[in-house]
Amino acid sequence: MMTNKRISLAPMIDYTTMDFRAFARLFNPNIHLYTEMISTSAILKGDAKHHLRCHPSESPVVLQLGGSNPDEMAKAVRVTEALGFGYCEYNINVGCPSDRVQHNKIGACLMAEPQVVADMVRAMKNETDKPITVKHRIGIDDCDSYEFMRDFVQTVAEAGCTHFITHARIAWLQGLSPKQNREIPPLRYEEVYRLKQDFPDLTIEINGGISHLDDIKTQLAKVDGVMIGRAFYHNPYLMAECHLLWGSQPPSHRQIFENLISYLKKRADEGVNLAVLTRHYLGLFQGMAGARRWRQDLSGKSVLTVDEIYQSGDRVLSQNGQ
């Protein structure tokens, strides 16, 4: 049985919304779920309650913040704590290579400014007793030596951060899209293992290119945790298979589906148009007979009822003897 190890759902803009996170929780009670990155300006200048909302079932859930101003990051934590949504941890985004964030000095470009990240950690720790963690790349552009990452981690750790999630690719901030930055720079897992060896007292979690249970087991022998993004999103039953890591049996697709229907009934009662949510659930029956029909039934509709969703899913499950 797994102790002192962690599996996480990665923060993904437009993907890890409240409605996907509540769905993800149906597969596994142990996985740490991450919000989309939420910028400090969205919290401090926008509708904080709307941006920060989460479902009670989601816990443990981590809020990922994007920003580069220590005072604003501290204020964002203060506002979030006051709203009482129950996030278990705050994570600083130092990994996203998107143009959308670079011009605001958010994300991977901050690897070049470890002192700023350290100052953010200190400021945030003054507002909460909850852990402050950092998600980062192994390097950026020409700053791609192991020593560059090691020095970054050391500076930030000295500020009191004890948990680092390392995407095992460098980020090329010029010339590559975010999608290309997830695929083109080669994976350099060995450097993440070396980081754990050099900082044995830190929690080092690995991210990037991990998509099967056997891959997860291999990584957990070397580091303290595994974070997975798109593989969990497109094949969410992998989260259920992770039950085996904790020595328990995965729930069936039928159990997960019935619980999803209960959740969707509540959302429909709140007046939500379910057709807006169903893009998050297309991977439920990944690899099963009838999965394509399920995806078609849930896609491109302007309105969907709970009954229509139930009939489509029930058809797939019956086809597969569930």
Active site residue ranges = 96
Alpha helices (H) along 26-85:
40-45, 48-52, 70-83
Closest CA to 30 of 10, 57, 60, 9: 60
Query: Are 17 and 236 contacting, i.e. CB atoms less than 8 angstroms apart?
Result: no
DSSP per residue over 186-209, as a string?
PP-HHHHHHHHHH-TTSEEEEESS
Residue 183: CB atoms within 10 A of its CB come to 11
Inter-CA distances, 82 with 44, 52, 78, 127, 189, Å: 13, 12, 6, 10, 39
- Ranges of beta strands (E only) in the chain are 6-9, 32-34, 38-39, 61-66, 89-94, 132-140, 163-171, 203-207, 225-228
> What tokens does 88 get?
């278990």
Q: Is 276 left (phi over 0), alpha (psi -120 to 50) or beta?
A: alpha
Taking each helix axis as running N to C, give the angle between helix 146-157 and helix 189-198, from 0 to 180 degrees, rounded to the nearest 10. 40
Query: Are 123 and 81 contacting, i.e. CB atoms less than 8 angstroms apart?
Result: no
Task: Find the distance separating the first CA and the last CA of the chain, reported in whole Å.
Answer: 28
CA distance 305 to 298: 10
Residue type at 211 in one-letter notation: S
CA distance 187 to 140: 13
